Amino acid sequence: MGIECLVLGAGQEVGKSCVVVSMGGKRIMFDCGMHMGYLDNRRFPDFSLISKTGDFDSALTCVVITHFHLDHVGALPYFTEVCGYHGPIYMTYPTKALAPLMLEDYRKVMVDRRGEEEQFTYDHIMECLKKVTPLDLKQTVQVDKDLEIRAYYAGHVLGAAMIYAKVGESTIVYTGDYNMTPDRHLGAAHIDRLQLDLLITESTYATTIRDSKYAREREFLRAIHKCVAGGGKVLIPTFALGRAQELCILLDDYWERMNLKVPIYFSAGLTIQANMYYKMLIGWTSQKIKETSSVRNTFDFKHVCPFDRSLINAPGPCVLFATPGMISGGFSLEVFKQWAPSELNLVTLPGYCVAGTIGHKLMSGKPTRIDLDKDTYVDVRCQIHQLSFSPHTDSKGIMDLVEYLSPKHVILVHGEKPKMAMLKERIQSELGIQCYYPANNEKLLISTTQNVKIDVTKKFIRSCSSAMLSNVKNSLLSISDSGSKDNEIIKLAREDTTAEGILLMEKTKTAKLIHGNELLHTLGVKEHQVRFAFCCPVEVTRMEPLSDEANTTLCHVNSIMKVYVPRCLVTEDRLTTANNTLLDILLSELETRTECKNIQIASDSLQLHTFHVRVCSTEHCSYRKKENGVGESVVYFCCSWSPCDDRLRCLCVVLELFKIRNEY
C-alpha cells in the first residue's frame, strides 16, 4: 500500500496550488488554484494529467479547497464548468462565502479592465459554488464509505483550513497556507496530534524567521501617520479579504486612540460587503475578537468609508485600501499611476508579491521608473513601505508543526526551490523525517505500512488492562482529567504494558488474539502435559545441630535461590514412618538451606512453581536412577516439573546432597 502524490501546481514555486493524492483507491484533489504571474495556459494546473480522457468524475473522489485565495481556488470554476468535473467539492463556510467575491473580482479585472478573453463567466462561478459542500472545523465528514476528511484551523485567512484525510489506515494532512502565530483578527493554526503517513506543507518562508509582530505594526502605523500628517496619500494595495480586515482593525483602533480625522477609504463596495461576511463569520476569527464582539461587532468599523473614483485626485491626505494586491492591475494600478509620482505619497505593500507584478518590482530594490508596457511607464517618486505582514508561517512555524505532527513523510510545496532544499535538509537532519519537494507535474510514491486488523478476546484485554491500570496508578496520573493528557497515558502505556498471547490465524477468518489459557478451549483439544521427572534418593540421618553459618558451603547459586549445604553431617539411621512428616522436614531443610521462602506444602507434595516433590511410594519407580547400593537409610523423593521451569532441575541435585535428620 502506498500514497501517490501528483503535484500539479505550487511545486517548487508559489502559485496555482494543486496536489492530487491517491490512496486506498481514492483520489483527492487539494486546492485548485491559478498562477497570478502567467497569462497563458501555464496559469492553470495541467488537469490532463489526472485523466487523459477528461472523465474527471471517475478519476477523482473529491476536491477540497483550503482557502479563498486565488492561487488556491482560482481554477475551480474552470475545472468544474469548463473541464466538466461534477463530483463533490468541499470547503469551509467562509471560503464558500468569500471565494465567489475573489473570483468575480479577478474575472472583472481580467475581462473588463485588461480586456482579456475570459476563462470562465460569472454564471460559471455561481454554478460552481452551488455544488460546494461547506465544512465546519473539526467536523469529521464522511465523503464516502472509506474516505473521511476533517478541517482544522489554519489561521492564514478567514476560513483557511488544514485538511486531514483518511482512507483505511492511510492518513495525510494537507496544510494549505497557514500561520502559526495569531494576528489581529485570526487565531494561530491549530491541529490535533494526529498519526500521519504524510504531511504536505506550504513552505513560503522556508528559511525566514520573523521577529515580533508588534514592532512591525508600530512601524507600519508610524509610516502611515507620518505620511498623512505631511498631507500625503497612502495607498495600501491589498486583496479584498484578509489582510485588508486585519489592517483595518489596526488602523481603526489607531485612529480612535490618536483621534485622527483623516478618512480611511475602501475601494469599491467589495470590501464593504466583505466586512458584512466577516461579521457573520466572526466565529472563525480569533478568540479575542469573538469575546469582544458579544455586543458590538469588531467589523463595524467607525472610521472606514467607501471610496469614489472622483476622490483619486481630491486634495488632502487619505488612506486607501485598493484591490487587487501586488498592484497586478485593476483599481490599485490605476491609483498607483496617479499617486506614485508624488514624494508626499506612500505605497504600503503588505505581504507577498508574486514575481512579475508591479508589487514585486517595488519590493525588489527602489526603482524610480516602472514600465507598464512597451509605451507607458510610471515615475516612482513616492515612498515605498514594505510590510512583512504575511499571514504565512515562518520556518520556525513549519519546523514546529512538522515536529508536533511527526509524520512519516513530508512533502514541501508552495515555496521557492532553493529555500525548500534547505528546509528539506533541516527536516531530514533535525527531525529525521523523510522529506521531498517535487516539481510541478511530478509524481511521488510514498510507501506506507498497513496495520493488520485482528480480533482480540475480552479475556486477553482484561489480563492486559489490569497491568495497564496498575501502571497508570503507579505514576500517580489521575484518569479523569486525562482527556487532554491522552498522549501521556498512551506514552505511559507504550512504555510498560506488555501483552502476551497467542495469535490464531485461520483461513478466511480475521486473525484472533487470545489469552494463553483460552487456546485449548478455542481449538477444542485436550492438553497434553509434558513433564520432566526424576526420582532422587535422600539419605535420612540424624544430624548434629548446626552451629553457625560458617559450617555451610554455598554450593549452588542461581537466579531463584541460593543453596547452602552443611559441611559436616553425622549419620545415624532411623527409618521414617510418616511421609508427611518427612516432607515437613524436607521443607524446613529446603527453607533453611536455600533462600526459597515460597515453597508451598500440598497434601502429599512440596511445590515451587511447577516443581513438585513427593515421597515415592512405588517399589520400582521408572524415574529412579538404576543404581546399586541402595541402603535402607535412603528415602526416594519423586520430583517432577514442567519444561517451563526447567531451571529448577537443579533442585534434584540439591536433594541428593541432603542427609536429613529424622527424630522418629
Partner 1 sequence: MKLTCLSQGNGYYCPPTHILQLCGFRLLLECPIDLSSLAVFSPIPSAGAANLDASSGLLRALPWLKTVPGLHLWDPSLIDAVLVSSPSAMLGLPFLTRNAKFCGKIYATEVVARIGQLLMEDLLSMHAEFLQFYGADVKPASPEWMKWVELEKLSPVLKQVVLGEDGEELGAWMPLYSAADIKECMQKIQPLKYGEETCFNGSIIMKAYSSGLDIGSCNWTINSPKISITYLSSSLFMPACWKGFDYHSLLGNDLVLFSDLSSLSSTASTCAETREIRNNNMIVENDPSLCSASALSKDEIPHQLFGTDETSDEIEKISFICSCIIDSLEGGGSVLIPISRLGTVLLLLEQISESLESFNLKVPIFMISPTAEETLAFVNTVPEWLSKQRQQKLFSGEALFNHVELKKVNRLHVFPSIYSSELLMMWQEPCIIFSPHWSLRLGPVVPLLRRWHADPKSLLILEQGVNVEVALLPFRPVAIKVLQSSFLSGIMMHKVEPLLEILHPKLVLYPEDLRIQYPLKENSSWSYLYYSENVQLRVPSFVEDVKACLETNLAFQLRPRRLTQQNIAIARLKGRIFLSKGKYFLAASRIPMEFSNKQLLYWGSIEPTCLLLALQDRGLVGTIHWNKDAANGVYTIQITNPEKAVIETSATMTTISCEDENTATLIYEALGTVCDGI
| Active site (catalytic) residues | 202
Per-residue contact string for residues 639-658; x = within reach of partner 1 by CB under 8 A: -x-xxx-x--x---------
Task: Return the number of the residue (551 or 618) whose C-beta is nearest partner 1.
Answer: 618
Q: Is 215 in the site for partner 1 (CB under 8 A)?
A: no
Q: Is 155 helix (H, G, I), strand (E, B) or coil?
A: coil
What is d(CA 271, CA 278) in angstroms, rounded to the nearest whole number?
10
Q: Using CB under 8 A, which residues numbered 132 to 191 contact partner 1?
A: 134, 136-142, 169
Binding part of the chain for partner 1, among 70-78, 178-186, 451-459, 574-582 by CB under 8 A, reads 451-459
Task: Return the number of the residue (46 or 656) whose C-beta is nearest partner 1.
Answer: 656
Task: Return the number of the residue (281 or 596) whose C-beta is nearest partner 1.
Answer: 281
Task: Return the number of the residue (131 or 396) whose C-beta is nearest partner 1.
Answer: 131
Per-residue contact string for residues 541-580; x = within reach of partner 1 by CB under 8 A: ----------------------------------------
Task: Return the number of the residue (212 or 287) whose C-beta is nearest partner 1.
Answer: 287
Nearest CA to 405 among 427, 383, 384? Answer: 427
Question: Closest separation between CB of residue 252 and partner 1, Å?
Answer: 19
Site for partner 1 (CB under 8 A): which residue of 280, 372, 557, 630? 280
Per-residue contact string for residues 473-512; x = within reach of partner 1 by CB under 8 A: -----xxxxxx--x--xx--xxx-xxxxxxxxxxx---xx
Q: Is 294 in the site for partner 1 (CB under 8 A)?
A: yes
Binding part of the chain for partner 1, among 270-278, 303-311, 387-395, 556-564 by CB under 8 A, reads 270-278
The contacts of residue 564 (CB under 8 Å, 6+ apart) are: 549, 552, 553, 554, 555, 592, 593, 594
Binding part of the chain for partner 1, among 116-124, 128-136, 242-250, 353-361 by CB under 8 A, reads 128-136
The contacts of residue 660 (CB under 8 Å, 6+ apart) are: 538, 539, 540, 541, 543, 582, 585, 586, 589
Strands 377-379 and 383-387: unpaired
Query: In terms of C-beta distances under 8 Å and separation of at least 24 residues, what long-range contacts does 249-254 make, across chains too?
Result: 249/184, 249/185, 249/298, 249/301, 250/184, 250/217, 250/220, 250/221, 251/221, 251/224, 251/303, 251/319, 252/301, 252/302, 252/303, 252/304, 254/221, 254/225
Q: Is 539 in the site for partner 1 (CB under 8 A)?
A: no
Q: How many CB atoms lie within 10 A of CB 240?
A: 26
Q: Is 629 in the site for partner 1 (CB under 8 A)?
A: no
Q: Is 605 in the site for partner 1 (CB under 8 A)?
A: no
Question: Closest separation between CB of residue 622 and partner 1, Å?
Answer: 5
Strands 383-387 and 18-23: unpaired
Nearest CA to 156 among 233, 71, 86? Answer: 71
Q: Is 193 helix (H, G, I), strand (E, B) or coil?
A: coil
Q: Using CB under 8 A, which residues numbered 356 to 395 contact partner 1?
A: none
Q: Is 513 in the site for partner 1 (CB under 8 A)?
A: yes
Contact 33, 440 (CB under 8 A): no
Question: Closest separation between CB of residue 283 and partner 1, Å?
Answer: 5
Q: Is 297 in the site for partner 1 (CB under 8 A)?
A: yes
Task: Return the number of the residue (96 or 156) whose C-beta is nearest partner 1.
Answer: 96
Sign of the CA dihedral with 562 first, then 565, 566, and 570 last: positive
Q: Is 413 helix (H, G, I), strand (E, B) or coil?
A: strand
Site for partner 1 (CB under 8 A): which residue of 534, 564, 611, 658? 534
Task: Return the number of the residue (109 or 149) whose C-beta is nearest partner 1.
Answer: 149
The contacts of residue 481 (CB under 8 Å, 6+ apart) are: none
Question: Closest separation between CB of residue 444 and partner 1, Å?
Answer: 21
**Whole-Å CA distances, 95 to 9, 413, 426, 473, 525:** 20, 21, 33, 47, 64
Q: Is 428 in the site for partner 1 (CB under 8 A)?
A: no
The contacts of residue 494 (CB under 8 Å, 6+ apart) are: none
Site for partner 1 (CB under 8 A): which residue of 291, 622, 629, 663? 622
Element (H, E) at 638: strand 634-641
Contact 206, 435 (CB under 8 A): no
**Amino acid at the residue 325:** G
Q: Is 277 in the site for partner 1 (CB under 8 A)?
A: yes
Q: Using CB under 8 A, which residues numbered 301 to 340 contact partner 1?
A: none
